[in-house]
Amino acid sequence: MQISLKETAAELKAKQRIVITAHVNPDGDAIGSSLGLAHALRALGKDVQVFIDDDIPAAFSVLPGYELIGKPVDGQNIPADLLVAVDVSLDRIGRVAELCTAPVLNIDHHVTNDGQADKLYLDGKAAAAAEIIYQLIGELGVNGNRDMAMCLYMGLATDTGWFRFSNATPKTMLAAADLLAWGAEPNLISEALEQRPFAEVQSLAVGMQKIELLAGGRVAGACLDYATMQEYDAPEGLIGMVRVIEGVDIAFTLKEKEPNLCRVSLRSKGLDVTKIALQFGGGGHVRAAGCTIEKNCAEARTDLINAIMQVLEAES
């Protein structure tokens, strides 16, 4: 059932033991909005725990509360009055779905949200889940502080490509300005994320060598098979390099992270890439989406390119 922001705030106020979770393979928005909400609820005197079923990259240790994020273990019972899932649909919270059986409040900005939660606050126009949490903090009547600000700024900045993408609206910028007033230090956040291991920077060159142009230059992508992934620490920034190629509308990367398991990232400058990701059970946003294809790199590449071509043809 979809609910309003006011009802979301009322739901949180009514519950004491609250567990927050976000998507596996967590990014700056998943981690930042989870921790930002945790800080706000603690200010209200709630018992709050954050569980994410994945490893949290060390770069995020710049965020206050990073060390308190738990990774669930098999068989663990996670007691709570309410499970809050942010920046995600329930199919991507990993084992938290089984280990915490409390009613679920879902707060999300993905247009592809599957609506499976007991209660859902969905704002597909919000640039980041962190933008919703910022609005929610106002609705809860909590005074913002540096801890909340650092975490939420992380979410806003990473999901908008540092306020460069089309999802950044006046609301986003006003929220960011307010977060600075609360004490956020954007330079610390960007410095923490900029730092890359030497091997990863070098692997960017390997990934860039693999970029291929398709559909007369409207599509570009790089596929890294399992052997390549084993040899190099595959860079997160590769999709950004594909995206900047002149004339490219759809950019993709395909990384075979385990044998016969490929993670796909999709970006676009115009076309709706959720149409491609949804075909493989993934999702995301119009201009940034992703999915997993359980095939080897070569087979997954063929399937992905076919799906991209279909979408291109349908649009032309």
- Positions in the binding site for Mn ion (CB under 5 A): 29, 87, 128-129, 159
**Residue 47 or residue 54: which is nearer to Mn ion going by CB?**
54
Q: Which does 249 bind (CB under 5 to 8 A by kind): ligand 5GP, Mn ion, none?
A: none
Q: Which residue is nearest to Mn ion (CB)?
A: 29
**Residue 186 or residue 282: which is nearer to ligand 5GP going by CB?**
282
Q: How far apart are CA 36 and CA 29, in angstroms?
A: 10
- In whole angstroms, the minimum distance from the beta carbon of 263 to ligand 5GP comes to 7
Question: Interior CA angle at 9 toward 55 and 184, to 5°?
Answer: 55
- In whole angstroms, the minimum distance from the beta carbon of 267 to ligand 5GP comes to 7
Interaction of residue 243 with ligand 5GP, rule CB under 6 A: no
Interaction of residue 235 with ligand 5GP, rule CB under 6 A: no
- In whole angstroms, the minimum distance from the beta carbon of 145 to ligand 5GP comes to 27
| Residue matched to tokens 């076309």 | 271
Interaction of residue 224 with ligand 5GP, rule CB under 6 A: no
Interaction of residue 112 with ligand 5GP, rule CB under 6 A: yes
Q: Which two tokens stand for residue 255?
A: 């990384």
- In whole angstroms, the minimum distance from the beta carbon of 128 to Mn ion comes to 5
- In whole angstroms, the minimum distance from the beta carbon of 46 to ligand 5GP comes to 26
β-pairing, 82-86 vs 17-21, is parallel
Question: Which string of DSSP letters, residue by residue, matches 196-262?
Answer: --HHHHHHHHHHHHT-EEEGGGTEEEEEE-HHHHHHS---TTHHHHHHTSTT-SEEEEEEEEETTEE
Interaction of residue 279 with ligand 5GP, rule CB under 6 A: no
Q: Which two tokens stand for residue 202?
A: 């070098």
List all residues 6 or more positions away from 57 whose beta carbon is below 8 Å from its beta carbon: none
Task: Please list, residue by residue across 286-314, b when 16 or more beta carbons sit within 10 angstroms of its beta carbon and e when fewer do.
Answer: bbbbbbebebebeebbebbbebbeebbee
Interaction of residue 283 with ligand 5GP, rule CB under 6 A: yes
Residues that bind ligand 5GP (CB under 6 A): 23, 27, 89, 92, 112, 265, 282-285, 288-292
